[in-house]
Amino acid sequence: MKNIDTYTHVRGESLYVDDIITRHDTLYGVVFDASKAHAVITSIDYSKAEALNGVVKIFTHQDIPGENQIGGIIADEPLFAEKEVHFWGQPIALIVAETELIARKARKLIEIAYEELPVIVTAREAKEKASLISPPRTFKMGDADRAFAACDFVYEGETFSNGQEHLYLESQGCYAFPLENGAIKIFSSTQGPTAVQRTTAKVLGVPMHKIEVEVIRLGGGFGGKEDQATPWSVMAGLAVHHLKKPVKFILNRHDDLRMTGKRHPYESSYKIGLNKDLKIVAYEAEFLQNAGAAADLSTAVAERTLFHATNSYFVPNVMATVYSCKTNLPPNTAFRGFGGPQGMFVIESAIAHAAREMQVRRDEIQQANLLNENDEFPYGQIARQVIARPSWTTAKEKFNFEKLREGVVDFNHKNDHFKKGISMMPICFGISFTNTPMNHARALVHIYQDGSVGVSTAAVEMGQGVNTKMLQVAQEVLGISANKVKLETTNTTRVANTSPSAASSTADLNGKAVEMACKSLKSRLSAVAASLLKVDITAISFHGDSVYVNGEKSGTSWEKVVSQAMLERVALSENAHYATPEIHFDKSKEKGHPFAYHVYGTAITTVTIDCIRGTYEVEEVKMAHDFGASMNMAVDVGQVEGGLAQGIGWMTMEEISYNKEGRLLSNALSTYKVPDIFSAPKKIETVAVATDGHEHAIKKSKAVGEPPLMYAIGTYFAIQEAVKSFNPNYHLKYDAPFTPEKVLMALYEK
Ligand code: MTE
Ligand code: HPA
Ligand code: MOS
């Protein structure tokens, strides 16, 4: 089935926040933000800005009736800075004016003076100064210290992986307007409508029922709108609360880039111990996460780094520690993979290091250590229905890895100025919010009296195709055609207390709820149909908008049964709640069973580098992916290819840069390069590994949103292989992204 948004997307008719028709008296907001990364505010003079014709009001922390606090996990982040600023771009005030242009002009008229304080930009510096968001955490299995002592080979090293800008096409924004009795409705571009509702209520000091949040769809989120869509909506809510007029507020690209957090940069170190048979016996890693100036989701991201520290390998002795380091950068946040990619990059680096020293191929070490059935993860979960080896073997065989590799070797023999590199990259990603209590969702399904159906869930459509999947579930369970089902907007008054659409779990959690609600409705309608047709209820089923009796099509339509149900006063609405079974995690022991299941896969990547220029092309990426029993291959392959391209950007060209003063230098698309059609792989091939799927996945169709991003880690190591074949003296570095500048330096390093 085609993505149900295709038609309106192509015609430019899909609605986003900026498309909502504004009321005639709408006002516009612009944020006034800090122009120092760490400083005491010694004075602010708003008088010139306030005097500008068309400026309505400038809101600061002094206008907050409730709490000046937006921290989600830890209460450490004010909505508006008070006496001190902690990052460049930190909001200080919201200027509300008759037009956005006036508000922008007013921003330039605000006079502010600072007394500067020392700025911390890197995680290492923060750790040295004991500037931490929370105490470090350690996952431990076996006895790494003892095991290292007995290993044939032990290697140590350091890695760096940089941050990444989400670059959702639709920047952060919202439109808020007053309802009656102090209630406020906010249209927000958020992955987390409940977070927006809860935080707005807290800042305004009103009950949550006064705040209604509605999401139509997002022009991309990628994690950047899980937590960080909230402050803008809260600010707009604050302005509406005081002014009783609608306020619209969309960050322009510059403001968005400067004020919002990104993927966390990580400075890490590793120690890996192997035996002659290539088995990894012990692994130790220390991750320094650059969290920025407030916690945001950093502690949860850090936790997922530990969960994925050993990727898809079984290592009997593990010790992995993560520090969330507090720096003076914008608070870094969720980004596709949620700390997992950062953890996996480190063990892949350690394997590359070991392979080089032991004079074996990387893929030989990888293959020797892949997870097997009943292996234990360092966090205590036992690996079941493991697809690590099947995906590896499928990739090797279907794509003829040995022949591809020989082709690369042959090419490198024949060419001096161009070199090729090839890599294998297995992935293993845990599905569920790592915070167990977040794994739930609800669905509200109405069958209208004409037989058409409306479905509301907590799922936010952000391009990943979740609404299409929800429609498929409803349609299949009820046995009706697709055009009878409509996916409603995501609204806190219809589906409440929701977790954000994140962790790749949206389709599973909300889909299971839709399935439950539709099954209840179907059993009620089956009873109606059975009495109508005077047969036993067990004989009834629904297919293709018709009632079937013992598998035979009856003359009775779906519509007829629905209207009969109306006459009999049978409820045609259902609300269902789903909570993932089995999962649990004990943080005091750092052990448990946090994931409903894991998604596996293996990618083969080939690159060609130009050894004169240092530039390179990703020739092809071939992936054997564990879709389970995909319910929509078109949507899922889109996710695989999109995630891959986004990961390649992170690993190769996207270079976030802050200067020593904490100012973002890569603050425009002229200084921050993301993959375009020319830098995407020339060829992408995806095959499905033959698997049964998993019963906790919706219709056994496994989660697909985040895992494919991590295939792109293979690109880094393919480039490294190519560099090595040109310059045997190249000393391997693990410093992502591997930009052309770094490639050029490596090619000619002595
Ligand atoms: N795909 C598109 N087109 N746009 C997005 O914003 N977000 C990614 C992924 N794929 C995203 C996307 C992230 S970070 C997650 S967690 C999942 O989609 C969320 O959706 P899901 O839970 O339905 O997979
Ligand atoms: N993944 C993504 N988002 C999250 C998670 C997670 O595990 N936990 C909280 N938010
Ligand atoms: Mo995705 S990083 O869990 O929004």
Tell me how far apart the alpha carbons of residues 498 and 491 are, in angstroms, rounded to a whole number.
10
Residue nearest to atom 1 of ligand 2 (CA): 503
List pLDDT tens digits, range 519-563: 999 999 999 999 999 999 999 999 999 999 999 999 999 999 999
Residue nearest to atom 3 of ligand 1 (CA): 463
CB-based burial of residue 571 (10 Å sphere; 0-12 exposed, 13-18 middle, 19+ buried)? exposed
Tokens of 579: 């909570």
Please say whether the beta carbons of 362 and 353 come within 8 A.
Answer: no
Residue 729 burial (CB count, 10 A)? 9
The ligand with the least distance to the CA atom of 302 is: 2
The ligand with the least distance to the CA atom of 218 is: 1
Tell me how far apart the alpha carbons of residues 176 and 225 are, in angstroms, rounded to a whole number.
17
**CA nearest to 421, candidates 52, 724, 26, 50:** 724
Tell me how far apart the alpha carbons of residues 502 and 700 are, in angstroms, rounded to a whole number.
19
Q: For residue 746, how far is its CA from the centre of ligand 2 (angstroms)? A: 37
Active-site residue, selected from the candidate residues 50, 706, 721, 749: 706
List pLDDT tens digits, range 378-388: 999 999 999 99
How much of the chain exceeds pLDDT 70, in percent? 100
Please give the pLDDT value at position 730.
Answer: 96
Segment 366-389 mean pLDDT: 98
Q: Can you say whether the dihedral through the CA atoms of 393, 399, 401, 402 is positive or negative?
A: positive
Q: Count of H helices and E strands in the chain?
A: 19, 30
Residue nearest to atom 5 of ligand 2 (CA): 433
Segment 591-620 mean pLDDT: 98
Please give the pLDDT value at position 419.
Answer: 98
Residue nearest to atom 10 of ligand 2 (CA): 433
Going by pLDDT thresholds of 50, 70 and 90, the confidence category of residue 226 is: very high
Q: State if residue 335 touches ligand 3 by the CB under 6 angstroms criterion.
A: yes
Q: State if residue 524 touches ligand 3 by the CB under 6 angstroms criterion.
A: no
Q: For residue 377, how far is its CA from the centre of ligand 1 (angstroms)? A: 26
Query: Which letter, b or e, does each residue of 582-612 get, where b requires 16 or more Cβ atoms within 10 Å of its Cβ?
Result: ebebeeeebbbbbbbbbbbbbbbbbbbbbbe
Mutate to test the pocket of ligand 3, among 303, 501, 639, 706 (most ligand atoms within 8 A of CB): 706
The set of protein residues with a Cβ atom below 6 angstroms from ligand 1 is 220-223, 336, 462-464, 466, 501-507, 639, 642, 703, 705-706
DSSP helix/strand/coil, 528: helix
Residue 301, phi then psi, degrees to nearest 5: -65, -45
Please give the pLDDT value at position 92.
Answer: 99
- State which ligand 3 atom lies nearest to the alpha carbon of 705: 1
The set of protein residues with a Cβ atom below 6 angstroms from ligand 2 is 226, 297, 300, 304, 334, 338, 433-435, 438, 502-503
Please give the pLDDT value at position 392.
Answer: 98
List pLDDT tens digits, range 676-696: 988 899 999 999 999 999 999
Query: Which letter, b or e, does each residue of 340-374 get, where b requires 16 or more Cβ atoms within 10 Å of its Cβ?
Result: bbbbbbbbbbbbbbbbbebeeebbebbbebbbeee
Going by pLDDT thresholds of 50, 70 and 90, the confidence category of residue 714 is: very high
Residue 570 burial (CB count, 10 A)? 16
Residue appearing with tokens 């279907």: 398
Please give the pLDDT value at position 451.
Answer: 98
* Residue 741: active-site member: no
Q: For residue 731, how far is its CA from the centre of ligand 2 (angstroms)? A: 36
Q: Can you say whether the dihedral through the CA atoms of 557, 563, 565, 567 is positive or negative?
A: negative
Q: For residue 502, how far is its CA from the centre of ligand 3 (angstroms)? A: 4
List pLDDT tens digits, range 265-274: 999 999 999 9
Please say whether the beta carbons of 109 and 48 come within 8 A.
Answer: yes
The ligand with the least distance to the CA atom of 334 is: 3
Q: For residue 707, how far is its CA from the centre of ligand 1 (angstroms)? A: 10
Please say whether the beta carbons of 238 and 63 come within 8 A.
Answer: yes
Q: For residue 67, how far is its CA from the centre of ligand 1 (angstroms)? A: 32
Please give the pLDDT value at position 87.
Answer: 98
Tokens of 729: 């003296």
Q: For residue 578, how far is its CA from the centre of ligand 3 (angstroms)? A: 20
Mutate to test the pocket of ligand 1, among 706, 709, 710 (most ligand atoms within 8 A of CB): 706
- State which ligand 1 atom lies nearest to the alpha carbon of 334: 14
Q: What angle do CA 569, 572, 577 make, to 5 degrees?
A: 135
**CA nearest to 123, candidates 379, 342, 348:** 342
The ligand with the least distance to the CA atom of 506 is: 1
Going by pLDDT thresholds of 50, 70 and 90, the confidence category of residue 697 is: very high
Cis ω before 594 (30° cut-off from 0): no
**CA nearest to 733, candidates 749, 405, 164, 362:** 749
- State which ligand 3 atom lies nearest to the alpha carbon of 225: 4
Please give the pLDDT value at position 245.
Answer: 98
Residue nearest to atom 7 of ligand 1 (CA): 222
Tell me how far apart the alpha carbons of residues 238 and 318 are, in angstroms, rounded to a whole number.
48
Q: State if residue 168 touches ligand 3 by the CB under 6 angstroms criterion.
A: no
Tell me how far apart the alpha carbons of residues 663 and 670 are, in angstroms, rounded to a whole number.
16
Segment 605-619 mean pLDDT: 98
- State which ligand 3 atom lies nearest to the alpha carbon of 226: 4
Please give the pLDDT value at position 570.
Answer: 98
Residue nearest to atom 4 of ligand 3 (CA): 223
Please give the pLDDT value at position 199.
Answer: 98
Q: For residue 742, how far is its CA from the centre of ligand 2 (angstroms)? A: 33
Please give the pLDDT value at position 445.
Answer: 99
List pLDDT tens digits, range 473-507: 999 999 999 999 999 999 999 999 999 999 999 99
Tokens of 105: 């002009």
List pLDDT tens digits, range 628-654: 999 999 999 999 999 999 999 999 999
Please give the pLDDT value at position 179.
Answer: 98
Task: Please give the C-alpha separations between residue 552 and each of 476, 546, 559, 664, in angstroms, as whole numbers.
Answer: 18, 10, 18, 67
Q: State if residue 336 touches ligand 3 by the CB under 6 angstroms criterion.
A: yes
List pLDDT tens digits, range 136-189: 999 999 999 999 999 999 999 999 999 999 999 999 999 999 999 999 999 999
- Can you give the pTM of this predicted structure? 0.98
Residue 51 burial (CB count, 10 A)? 10
